[in-house]
């Protein structure tokens, strides 16, 4: 019998071994998938849920269901999908009254537990229904002409859109001012920055910081609460606020110094709370600009980018609700822009393998049992369209008020972590940004991420509203993009680079 040696022996031995290893990896990941990968710990104290009491006046036309940690449950389709137990959000037509909606809900023995009149939104409670039941009810409700959209009141374990910085502090703190052509003297423009209200929907901003003008200060301990919500990002909101609108007396001067801040918590909250907070900022505080330096958890954005239909439908259902709400606000005459971070998921190859491989809600062994599929599923870049429900909105009227911001470095290269796609509208510096820290002994800090790039654009938008109070939200977005006289490219995309002076000159 001829003995097999050399290359043939290696091939015969190695290839089956690689196949076996791949099979073991697929099966192992199926059973031991890190379902809370890159997700905050939900074992929160009730202290964090006290924030819901902000909207608990049921005698008014603006309230939502008050929840506790016990009200947050996981869906049977995927333990990562969480929602407020028994609760659905509904948007309805201008032609409907609250009594009309009551009649539609009566066969379900449902009660209205939240109602925001300004945006035609109802939060309804359907007792003793599991997740599939609630999804079916949503489909049935959407058959009525008077109801636009109905979705389960999902709960987002939302991490801020921030990453670590590797650049040494030798870099000049304010390199980004020359990068975005910031005016050498802001007094050349006849604007009163303190007249502009800006919303910051993020980890709560330190209300005790002397360089920040917060108009809706609360009595809770911001630092303790931030640590409860998500300790890794407890400085995030304060740092973002510093970039956007810290006082001109700060050692890290802001883009729109002295603007007034409306701060609200976006971490670990229901979609109903998100809607209420954004509506509150626009309707009750006349916020012209809202900064959202937050994003979905990586497994959502990455599995949607990988083509997971469950995830895409989930994100689109939330975006439809926000499109209804923001469209109603625009029709009612409110002018605003919302600047959102593109996200930081493009640079994490480990995330891209695990989360791209296991589609959200599609964890089926036979679907995943594909030789070497775990490696071929790696995603080249993460699609920024799926970074937030607002980024996925397709309605032109609403989209013209939403600005998605990517990050670049001091060499004018797109940051390797920045999520991409044609949904990104503009680029701003996001690496090694010097801004406020809530820690009184260390008042300033360096952070990087599309979170840091976004307030440069939000701050410039606030300057435009200050310069021309009559400008519309869609005109602000148009000016920010069209005033850019330089573009930044990588292998796949080209984006305009923020130019503050040019933007101001266009509206002066």
pLDDT of residue 268: 82
pLDDT over threshold 70, residue 11: no
Query: Residues 7-36: what's their mean pLDDT?
Result: 65
**Average of pLDDT values for 100-127?**
96
Amino acid 363: pLDDT: 62
- What pLDDT score does 9 carry? 56
The two tokens of residue 347 are: 């640079």
Q: Where in the chain is the domain with CATH 3.30.70?
A: 53-156
| Strand partners for 83 | 73, 154
Q: Which residues are within 8 A (CB) of 460 and not within 5 positions of it... i.e. 6 or more apart?
A: 180, 255, 256, 480, 498, 500, 503
The predicted model gives 229-258 an average pLDDT of 85
pLDDT-above-90 percentage for the chain: 56
CA dihedral angle for residue 57, residue 59, residue 64, residue 65, rounded to 10 degrees? 90
| Model pLDDT, residue 170 | 47
Residues 155 and 83: beta-carbon distance below 8 Å = yes
Q: Which of the four pLDDT bands, split at 50, 70 and 90, describes residue 196?
A: very high
The rounded mean pLDDT for the chain is 85
pLDDT above 80 for 349:
no
Is residue 360's pLDDT more than 80?
no
> Can you tell me which residue has the tokens 């470095």?
409
pLDDT per residue as tens digits for the range 367-421: 555 545 544 555 678 899 999 999 999 999 999 999 999 999 988 999 988 999 9
Give, in words, the CATH class of 175-345+384-507.
Answer: alpha beta
* pLDDT higher than threshold 90 for residue 337: yes
Mean predicted confidence (pLDDT) in 97-103:
95
Sort 61 into a burial class: Cβ within 10 Å, 0-12 / 13-18 / 19+: exposed
CATH code of the region 53-156: 3.30.70
Q: What is the DSSP string of 254-315?
A: -SSTT-EEEEEE-SSEEHHHHHHHHHIIIIIS--SEEEE-B---HHHHHHHHTT-HHHHHHH
- State the pLDDT at residue 397: 97
Residue 70 burial by Cβ neighbours in a 10 Å radius (0-12, 13-18, 19+): exposed
pLDDT value, residue 2: 56
Residue 79 has pLDDT above 60, yes or no: yes
Across 299-304, average pLDDT: 81
Higher pLDDT, residue 231 or 356: 231
CATH 3.40.50.200 in the chain, residue ranges:
175-345+384-507
Taking CA atoms, 1 is separated from 4, 11, 20, 504, in Å, by 9, 19, 28, 85
Residue with tokens 């309805």: 92
> Mean pLDDT over residues 420-429, rounded?
95
Mean pLDDT of 24-46: 59
Higher pLDDT, 14 or 99: 99
pLDDT at 61 over 80: yes
Of 14-28, 53-67, 88-102, minimum mean pLDDT range: 14-28
């Amino acid at each position: 019998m001829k003995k097999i040696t050399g290359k043939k022996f290696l091939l015969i031995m190695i290839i089956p071994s690689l196949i076996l290893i791949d099979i073991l990896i697929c099966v192992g990941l199926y059973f031991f998938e890190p379902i809370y990968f890159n997700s905050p710990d939900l074992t929160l104290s009730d202290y964090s849920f006290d924030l819901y009491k902000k909207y608990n006046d049921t005698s008014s036309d603006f309230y939502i269901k008050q929840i506790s940690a016990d009200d947050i449950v996981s869906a049977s389709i995927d333990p990562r999908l969480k929602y407020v137990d028994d609760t659905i959000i509904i948007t309805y037509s201008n032609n409907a009254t609250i009594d009309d909606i009551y009649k539609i809900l009566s066969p379900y023995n449902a009660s209205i537990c939240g109602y925001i009149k300004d945006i035609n939104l109802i939060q309804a409670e359907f007792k003793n229904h599991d997740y599939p039941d609630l999804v079916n009810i949503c489909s049935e409700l959407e058959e009525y002409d008077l109801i636009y959209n109905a979705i389960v009141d999902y709960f987002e374990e939302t991490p801020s859109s921030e990453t670590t910085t590797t650049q040494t502090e030798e870099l000049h703190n304010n390199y980004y001012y020359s990068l975005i052509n910031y005016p050498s003297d802001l007094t050349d423009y006849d604007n009163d920055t303190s007249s502009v209200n800006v919303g910051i929907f993020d980890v709560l901003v330190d209300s005790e910081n002397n360089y920040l003008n917060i108009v809706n200060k609360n009595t809770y301990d911001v630092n303790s609460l931030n640590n409860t919500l998500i300790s890794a990002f407890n400085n995030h909101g304060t740092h973002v606020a510093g970039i956007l609108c810290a006082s001109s007396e700060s050692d890290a001067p802001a883009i729109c110094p002295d603007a007034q801040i409306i701060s609200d918590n976006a971490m670990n909250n229901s979609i109903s709370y998100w809607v209420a907070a954004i509506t509150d900022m626009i309707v009750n505080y006349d916020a012209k600009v809202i900064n959202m330096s937050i994003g979905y958890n990586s497994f959502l954005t990455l599995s949607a980018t990988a083509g997971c239909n469950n995830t895409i439908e989930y994100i689109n259902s939330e975006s439809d609700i926000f499109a209804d709400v923001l469209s109603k606000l625009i029709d009612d005459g409110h002018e605003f822009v919302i600047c959102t971070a593109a996200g930081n998921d493009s640079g994490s190859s480990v995330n891209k393998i695990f989360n791209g491989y296991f589609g959200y809600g599609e964890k089926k062994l036979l679907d995943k049992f594909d030789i070497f599929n775990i490696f071929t599923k790696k995603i080249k870049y993460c699609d920024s369209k799926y970074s937030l429900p607002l980024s996925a909105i397709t309605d032109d009227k609403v989209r013209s008020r939403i600005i998605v911001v990517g990050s670049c470095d001091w060499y004018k290269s797109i940051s390797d972590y920045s999520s991409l796609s044609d949904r990104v509208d503009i680029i701003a510096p996001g690496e090694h940004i010097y801004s406020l820290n809530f820690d009184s002994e260390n008042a300033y800090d360096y952070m990087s991420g599309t979170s840091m790039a976004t307030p440069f654009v939000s701050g410039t938008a606030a300057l435009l509203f200050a310069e021309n109070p009559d400008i519309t939200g869609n005109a602000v977005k148009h000016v920010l993009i069209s005033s850019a006289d330089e573009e930044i490219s990588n292998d796949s995309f080209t984006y305009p680079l923020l130019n503050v002076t040019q933007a101001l000159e266009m509206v002066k």
